[in-house]
Amino acid sequence: MTQYFQSDYIQAGEIEMEETPQDAIKDFVARDTWTYDDYLKLNDTLSEAGDTADKLREMVGMLEGQDPEPKGTAAVKTGIALYMVCRFQKALEVLSAGTDNRDRRYFMAQCQKHLGHHQRAIEELELAKARGWEDPKIDLEIAEATALSGDTAKAAKAIKPLANKLGRTAEYLCVRGMLAELDGDIEAAGEAYEQALAADETNPAALFRLAYFNDLYGQEDRAMELYQRCLTLQPVNVGALMNMAVLYEDAEDYDQACMCLRRILAVNPTHWRARLFLRDAEASKTMYFDEDRAKMMAQRNAILETPVTDFELSVRARNCLKKMDINTLGDLVNTPETRLLEYKNFGETSLKEIRDMLALKGLRLGQALEDSAAADLSDMFTPDTSPQAKDGVMATPLSQIELSVRARKALELLKIDTLGDLVSRTEAELLACRNFGQTSLNTIRQALGQYGLRLAESD
């Protein structure tokens, strides 16, 4: 016999209907304006509702539909919503028409930070403080932006007075880790990021910085795990999705890479990097590489880059080559015999030495310049339009290409490993990389020119 308890029954009049997440979202939309506290509560509500991305898009659509050109407090509300869906430039435009209060300035600072405008972010954070933002963590944000703008010494000085009060917070530990990383202390940076995540497992900055740190230093599995955790927070970190797409593409999981990029474009259809990466990932699904030919090309490149000093030559022959700025076998196959013989003190004996040296490698003087040999060396010195040759050249590792140390480090940070990776990038993308300047760009252009290649054009 079933036993019933008094608590199992309740009078209909006593039932109190709980507000659903959907009702709560509608309530937020109906409000005149939003504050930072509303933003935090809305994040929690969206997490409970599920299908967060869809709910966010729906919410922003309602706000923009109700008032396409909001002003005053309504502009602050819509601007915060646009920030939440990562439409940072549009959010800035809308917020600039909003009531000039601390919430407007704080979210304008966040938008500027995401767009990489660190000095402007500092200015907006200072204005937020002047309008009553009292949370001391804002000083950490100012220090972070200061460091990212290039003044690490000023940032380090700024966080010292905050150590007693905030030293154990995830935000403080993140900034400390970032300063260590910028100063080249990789071990201290990793330790600080781990401590930051331990202090707050849901802190967006701690999750992303530790993820990127592991990604940068070869711990792809750990990085992927942390990036995935980043996606559970709002606003979704676009950098996490972009970096996940790159990791998936490196692992040849092009479907997952495309999924990450489409997720960005679903919210921000004009995100040019996501569009570019998606195009490359889609193309990779049907791309074919001839591994044997790629290896052959790498071997040929290595042979042509062999220094002439690696061979036994007479002092006279060696000195003549040095004065003529002929340093590698590649230089010699681009030099006709007549040019060598025109040089003072270079005679038939020295010429025979050079011929014999090249013959050991199956090469000869002026080979690249001779019409009769053009077909033999076309895939090395001129662009070959056949699919097989293109695949081979594109698979050439950058380790086989002569580049400056700075340019090589920048390409490693961008995970550009082959000529194929390099020609898929634009000049703007490369110049956006830290410490990559015009000199490095010129080096890249010259290296690609030797293969009849060039960087991608900007959209």
∠ Cα 131 112 74 (to 5°): 55
What pLDDT does residue 434 have?
A: 67
**What is the DSSP annotation of 267-290?**
H-TT-HHHHHHHHHHHHHTS----
Same fold, 291-380 and 397-449: yes
Q: 290: burial class by Cβ within 10 Å (0-12, 13-18, 19+)? A: middle
pLDDT tens, N- to C-terminus, the chain (459 residues): 333 333 333 333 444 445 666 777 778 778 888 899 988 888 777 766 666 666 777 777 888 888 888 999 999 999 998 888 878 888 999 999 999 999 999 999 999 988 888 999 999 999 999 999 988 889 999 999 998 888 889 999 999 999 998 989 999 999 999 999 888 899 999 999 999 999 999 888 899 999 999 988 888 899 999 999 988 876 678 889 989 988 888 888 888 989 999 888 877 777 777 887 888 788 777 655 555 655 666 677 778 788 888 888 888 888 888 888 788 888 888 788 888 887 777 888 888 888 888 887 778 887 766 533 333 433 333 334 444 444 456 777 776 676 766 677 778 888 888 888 888 888 888 877 766 777 677 778 877 776 667 888 765
What pLDDT does residue 88 have?
A: 86
367 by DSSP, 3-state: which?
helix
Rg (CA), the chain: 30
Task: Please compute, for residue 222, the number of CA atoms within 13 A of its CA located in the half-sphere on the CB side.
Answer: 14
What pLDDT does residue 208 have?
A: 92
Per-residue pLDDT reduced to its tens digit, 151-163:
889 999 999 999 9
What pLDDT does residue 297 have?
A: 65
CATH topology of domain 291-380: DNA polymerase; domain 1 (1.10.150)
Domain ranges of the chain: 17-99, 291-380, 397-449
What pLDDT does residue 383 have?
A: 39
Read off the pTM: 0.55
CATH topology of domain 397-449: DNA polymerase; domain 1 (1.10.150)
What pLDDT does residue 179 have?
A: 92
User: At which residue do the structure tokens 């992927």 appear?
Assistant: 224
